[in-house]
A and B are shown apart, each in its own frame.
Chain A
Amino acid sequence: MSETLSINDLHVSVEGKEILRGVNLELRRGETHALMGPNGSGKSTLGFAIMGHPNYEVTSGRITLDGEDLLAMEPHERARAGLFMAFQRPMSIPGVKMADFLRHAVSNVRNPERKEGEDLLPMREFRKELRSKMEQLRMDPEFARRYVNDGFSGGEMKRAEILQLAMLRPKFAVLDETDSGLDVDAVRLASQSIAEIGGREMGILIITHHDKLLEHNPPDVTHVMLGGRIVESGGAELAAELHKSGYDRIRAAHPEAAAAEERLAQEEREAAEQFVS
């Protein structure tokens, strides 16, 4: 049976405000989907909802992994079930070495039944694997001894997320703007890396504004999100078109979604003004 991440009529609110208004998406393992759309259209919200962020309240709809209800799972259970998200803004964990953090994470994900305090992966075996993955990603071995994302440049953080992806080998991964803040060469390297670490064996949802990240990971399907819904889906050519021509055609074709987008943006601005004053 082919493994599938299925999202059905998903509605998500943050602080009582509805951001996603009925998202449908079906991602099979082995497929790459691109998720594009203007800022504030709800792309990251979808990622956080898939991973189970407590502030993202699913008000209706379903997310299932091979038929299993993901919404009933805690975030760590989702990770152990085979989900991963590369964060747009990864968090730093001062004092915790990347290698130690990853060893703990990998031990949990590969042994979903592992209880706190039980043995971690054997050190030697883990180190060997980490070293080889870092070589493959052309990363300085020193990286493993640094504290997780602590004092990392934007580019280093994104590379660290890809390293985590490579080590955790999820069934499904959401890459949330893994290209943002990177220069052209860095994006190309990231794109290549995702392909090299076996992106093709996963189901990948790439959230991006650009087509560069897709260079080595041509999408089987491109989705366009606007105003909290996926309004169009197409092939790789759709991603290329959006990158070239922007979202004007999409807005014109989907006035209801465009209005919702405008409404959300307006609320956002008002909230920001309130915050400032």
Chain B
Amino acid sequence: MSSVTAQGGFTSESFAAFLRGRDEPDWALDQRRRAWEHAESLPLPSTADEEWRRTDLRRFHLNRFELPGESDPSPAEPDALLTHGVQLAGRTWAHNSHPLEASLSQKWRDRGVLLTSLDAAIKEHADLVRPHLWRAFDREYDKFAALHAACWSGGTVLYVPAGVEMDEPIHMLSSLGEGGVDLHHTLVILEESAEATVLGETSGDAGAGLHLGGIELLVGPQARLRYVNLQNWGQQVWHFAHQKALVDRDARLQWTIGALGSKLAKVNQHVALTGEHAQAQVNGVMFTEGRQHINYHTHQHHQVPNTTSDLLYKGALQDDSRVVWRGMIKVDPAAQKTSGYQRDDNLILSDRARADSIPGLEIEADDVICTHGATAGRVDDELIFYCRTRGLTRNEAVRTVVAGFFQKVFDRITIESVREALGEAIGRRIREFH
């Protein structure tokens, strides 16, 4: 653990101090330095950039935050939402970018599964981690990607060897305290025919915070991964994340995201189908309120023939909140017999909320089936009246309609604790409807 306190924002001096405290092998430090140089050469994105046209960062000031220094002596462990009634194989917890816990039951350790902090793994398991780290992360994509690559801290690695089928989930929790920064990097490696379920969630209090995150999911041939990430930060957190999965031959990925928290979130979620007969299902559940702004760019990249991707996002918006979704299905020239689907539905619960859905297709093969759709609608007053004539209060009626709206995506989520947690979290947030 670092004993050096980094001070004064994201500056060269504080970065140098951060590196001194890391005690990492040279290859990792070199990677960080190169990424830092790249980050320094890039401006923050602005609304002049196509991807950021609808997402204004003028009120974001990076240097109000600090690189992770000394660890908070003993943060209170937040209540996890996704683990109720679940028998876990293992769990990790990081707070303000400091890994605090990584435990895995003996049964899975005996079978060669590794669950530890990435911070420790690059020292203790470099031969395992190094070839995979950054395979699914473009460190030069934008300033946030470069900063993450330079400054990541409090990461997690899950490695499941070939043929090991984990039938108990792993829980990965990241939490933020007031003014904290989360630079979590998640690396999940499933070797051939391995199977795992990962329940990731973030949690934060009401204070300001910053997440500069990265997720890499490497799903080997014939492997099966169910990955959940629930973004449940407090509503003063800036959330910038690059998340990508590589899905190999005959492998299956079910990736479910929940977006409930943060002040402003900009996420690039990318699925690349890299081996024939790879399949990816992507599910998204969003509920926004207050002045929250959530921006998701999704990318379904079919690189080889006979691959399938199926994305369904559903969002409900309350108050003055705004959701932007921009989806892209990209089919490379070689990727014949591709099936790609994307759909984004929004239910608007207030006159002031706004949803923008921009589906996109970029298809370079000719024998493919790719479809997309997007809807945005308000809660129908006649429907609310109908429910009220059956004894439901206005509020119960709205909750019923909202629950029904999400049902289709919940039906696809095969993990009960996740469905319940998302349903309850949404139910708690729905207020009196006007």
Contact = CB atoms under 8 A, between A and B. Distances in A.
Contacts of A116: 393, 395-396
A78 B390 CA distance: 9
Range of interface residues on A (Cβ < 8 Å): 20 to 34
A229 interface: no
B389 A84 contact: yes
B108 interface: no
Contacts of B88: none
Interface string B394-411: 111000110111111000
Contact of A74 (B380, B383, B387, B388): B388
Given A96-B404, A101-B400, A91 B394 contact: no
Interface string B356-380: 0000000000000000000000001
Interface in B183-235: none
Contacts of B385: 51, 53-54, 75
A104 B400 contact: yes
B381 to A, nearest CB: 8
Given A116-B395, A147-B404, A93 B383 contact: yes
A257 interface: no
Nearest to B314: A95
A95 B396 contact: no
B49 interface: no
A91 B382 contact: yes
A96 B403 contact: yes
Contact of B392 (A84, A90, A105): A105
B197 to A, nearest CB: 25
Contacts of A84: 389
Mostly, the B contact residues are helix
A95 B406 contact: yes
Interface in A178-223: none
A225 interface: no
Contacts of A104: 390, 392, 396, 400
With most chain A CB atoms within 10 A of its CB, the pick from B392, B395, B400, B403 is B392
A91 B390 contact: no
B433 interface: no
A121 to B, nearest CB: 12
A78 B382 CA distance: 17
A53 to B, nearest CB: 6
A108 B394 CA distance: 13
Given A53-B385, A91-B380, A91-B383, A96 B407 contact: yes
B391 interface: yes
A76 B392 contact: yes
Contact of A51 (B381, B382, B389, B400): B389
B388 A94 contact: no
B388 A79 contact: yes
Given A54-B385, A91-B380, A91-B383, A79 B391 contact: yes
A230 interface: no
Given A116-B396, A147-B404, A93 B387 contact: yes
A271 B132 CA distance: 68
10 contacts: A51-B385, A74-B388, A76-B388, A80-B391, A93-B401, A96-B401, A105-B392, A109-B391, A164-B390, A168-B390
